[in-house]
């Protein structure tokens, strides 16, 4: 079938959506559309602009393998630099011409071999293939707090940071101790702003350095790709990812012991006051939650303008936050670093496959997918960074590229089996999906996420870790070649 009539629609213009579009174009597909509900590319790096925003993956590994960036300014990239990188790359590969911004897909239904799409603005489209690149961390989670409507200051979720609110000379309360809360406290404390960090459950922090690349180094990276490749140390980085994933799946592994000890040493060596150290000591095993990498949080929280609050919040009042010990903590700004609804993926979009099966019924128990990229009863519907894929302190760009290599082979099968008279579609069998999910759940119960004694956004509603429960090398291997015996192939008249 000609590429001109074989249409692919990508939902989302974040990291994964841009990747899919570039790869499709390079493979000769030229009937492509990208629908993006926001007004710019970038995904989570567009949404998040809070003070101190930094990626915990080394800069030179948080890039597409085909579009290395020699100009990173620091060893760990800032959110603004990452957003700039995606914006430049989108233009470099002319992907911006494919994107329809401010256009949200509200429904996708598989009818007579094609996906029929409904858009929020009333528009419609149809496609042979749909690629959901909607991301994981985009639907904010903000707990209801009694009295918030009475608060006379400014308040917002950290992914909706209001930059019109001046912070200097004001008292800022940050609720939540994930990476976001830690980064904000570090940044604002260093600026001399009075900050209070409300922490229900402290988390383990891995020490890390975030040095600057000199202009001389960046010039060397620009002029000689081999110098950049040496600096990236692919072998060392891959080995560290393998150790990290092994530590997650085997709490008794040497890697787990080393990483756990590093976190404990970081706390003990950084926090001298015994009472504060005790307040910052987690009640769970290291890596039970996503590890926080920070060069300076412990130093930041010990400054005179920073205050750790461990008492639970009772309510919000006009001039601050009252905790259950009766103390009113005065503040002028409240920032909710309370994370995201990680189980949503492409929802609230309605997805309806064959036999009337819809996404909500398919995911009634938990979001699931065969190898994280395809679902039963949803022909020619593919996901990047979908349910149960690898997540952790490593590059999701690497994961998305591996997933795309797998998906691209399936799309080629569909295209080769589709012509003017026939449409081919494929989806994983229910049996293959159930078998995979049962095996995944069994393996997940052996990971530190399950055995470590904590609650985290990695866990689904039943307390099962919703992530890849094996090591990184296994994921690399299964993404190499799809097993078509696990798929149902169906044909219909065009």
Q: What is the pLDDT of residue 90?
A: 98
Place of tokens 């080393």: 258
Judge whether 8-139+341-493 and 148-336 match in fold.
yes
For 5, the token pair is 């009539």
Handedness of CA 96, 102, 103, 107 (dihedral sign): positive
pLDDT tens digits, one per residue of 232-288: 888 888 888 888 888 998 989 998 999 999 999 999 999 999 999 999 999 999 999
Q: What is the pLDDT of residue 4?
A: 58
Half-sphere exposure of 121 (CA within 13 A, CB side): 10
Q: What is the pLDDT of residue 468?
A: 93
Closest CA to 313 of 142, 140, 145: 145
pLDDT tens digits, one per residue of 322-380: 999 999 999 999 999 999 887 888 989 999 999 999 999 999 988 999 999 999 999 99
User: 477: which residues sit within 8 A by CB, 6+ positions away?
Assistant: none
**What are the φ/ψ torsions at residue 396 (nearest 5 degrees)?**
-70, -15
Q: What is the pLDDT of residue 1?
A: 45
Which CATH number does 148-336 carry? 3.50.50
For 445: left if phi > 0, alpha if psi spans -120 to 50, otherwise beta; the answer is alpha
Rg (CA), the chain: 23
Closest CA to 203 of 182, 185, 189: 182
Q: What is the pLDDT of residue 2?
A: 47
State the CB neighbour count (10 A cutoff) for residue 215.
10
Per-residue pLDDT of the chain (494 residues; tens, 9 = 90+): 444 589 999 999 999 999 999 999 999 999 999 999 999 999 999 999 999 999 999 999 999 999 999 999 999 999 999 999 999 999 999 999 999 999 999 999 999 999 999 999 999 999 999 999 998 877 888 889 999 999 999 999 999 999 999 999 999 999 999 999 999 999 999 999 999 999 999 999 999 999 999 999 999 999 998 999 898 888 888 888 888 888 998 989 998 999 999 999 999 999 999 999 999 999 999 999 989 999 999 999 999 999 999 999 999 999 999 999 999 999 999 999 999 887 888 989 999 999 999 999 999 988 999 999 999 999 999 999 999 998 776 789 999 999 999 999 999 999 999 998 899 999 999 999 999 999 999 999 999 999 998 888 888 888 999 999 999 899 999 999 999 999 999 998 87
Q: How many helices (H) and strands (E) does the chain have?
A: 15, 21
Decide: residue 324, CB within 10 A, 0-12 exposed, 13-18 middle, 19+ buried.
exposed
Homologous superfamily of the 8-139+341-493 domain (CATH): FAD/NAD(P)-binding domain (3.50.50.60)
Q: Which helix (H) or strand (E) holds 263?
A: helix 254-270
C-alpha distances out from residue 267 to 56, 207, 264, 276, 436, Å: 19, 9, 5, 10, 39
- Residue ranges covered by each domain of the chain: 8-139+341-493, 148-336
């Amino acid at each position: 079938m000609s590429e001109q009539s074989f249409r692919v629609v990508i939902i989302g213009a974040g990291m994964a959506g841009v990747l899919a579009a570039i790869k499709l174009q390079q493979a000769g597909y030229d009937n492509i559309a990208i629908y993006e509900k926001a007004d710019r590319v970038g995904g989570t790096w567009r949404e998040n602009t809070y003070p101190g925003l930094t990626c915990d993956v080394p800069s030179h590994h948080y890039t597409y393998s085909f579009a290395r960036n020699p100009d990173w300014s620091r060893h760990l990239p800032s959110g603004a630099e990452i957003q700039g990188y995606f914006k430049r790359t989108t233009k470099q590969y002319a992907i911006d011409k494919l994107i329809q911004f401010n256009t949200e897909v509200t429904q996708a239904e598989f009818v007579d071999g094609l996906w029929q799409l409904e858009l929020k603005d009333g528009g419609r489209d149809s496609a042979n293939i749909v690629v959901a690149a909607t991301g994981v961390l985009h639907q904010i989670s903000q707990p209801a707090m009694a009295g918030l409507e009475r608060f006379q200051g400014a308040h917002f979720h950290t992914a909706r940071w209001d930059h019109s609110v001046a912070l200097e000379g004001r008292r800022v309360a940050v609720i939540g101790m994930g990476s976001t809360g830690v980064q904000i406290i570090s940044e604002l404390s260093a600026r001399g702003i009075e900050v209070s960090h409300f922490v229900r459950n402290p988390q383990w922090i891995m020490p890390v350095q975030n040095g600057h690349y000199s202009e001389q180094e960046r010039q060397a990276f620009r002029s000689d790709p081999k110098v950049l490749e040496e600096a990236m140390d692919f072998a060392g980085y891959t080995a560290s990812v393998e150790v990290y994933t092994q530590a997650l799946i085997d709490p008794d592994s040497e890697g787990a012991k080393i990483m756990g000890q590093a976190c404990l040493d970081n706390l003990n060596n950084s926090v001298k006051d015994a009472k504060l150290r005790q307040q910052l000591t987690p009640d769970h095993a290291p890596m039970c939650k996503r590890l926080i990498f920070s060069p300076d949080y412990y130093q930041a929280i010990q400054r005179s303008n920073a205050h750790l609050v461990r008492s639970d919040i009772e309510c919000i009042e006009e001039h601050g936050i009252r905790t259950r010990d009766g103390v009113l903590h005065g503040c002028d700004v409240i920032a909710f670093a309370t994370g995201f609804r990680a189980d949503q993926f492409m929802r609230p979009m309605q997805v309806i496959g064959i036999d009337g099966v819809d996404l909500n019924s398919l995911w009634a128990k938990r979001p699931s997918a065969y190898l994280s990229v395809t679902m039963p009863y949803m022909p020619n519907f593919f996901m990047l960074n979908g349910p149960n894929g690898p997540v952790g302190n490593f590059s999701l760009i690497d994961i998305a590229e591996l997933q795309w290599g797998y998906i691209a082979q399936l799309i080629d099968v569909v295209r080769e089996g589709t012509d003017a008279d026939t449409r081919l579609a494929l989806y994983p069998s229910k049996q293959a999906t159930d078998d995979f999910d049962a095996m995944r759940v069994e393996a997940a119960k052996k990971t530190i996420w399950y055995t470590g004694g904590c609650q985290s956004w990695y866990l689904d509603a039943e307390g099962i870790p919703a992530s890849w429960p094996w090591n990184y090398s296994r994921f690399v291997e299964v993404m190499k070649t799809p097993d078509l015996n696990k798929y149902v192939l169906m044909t219909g008249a065009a």
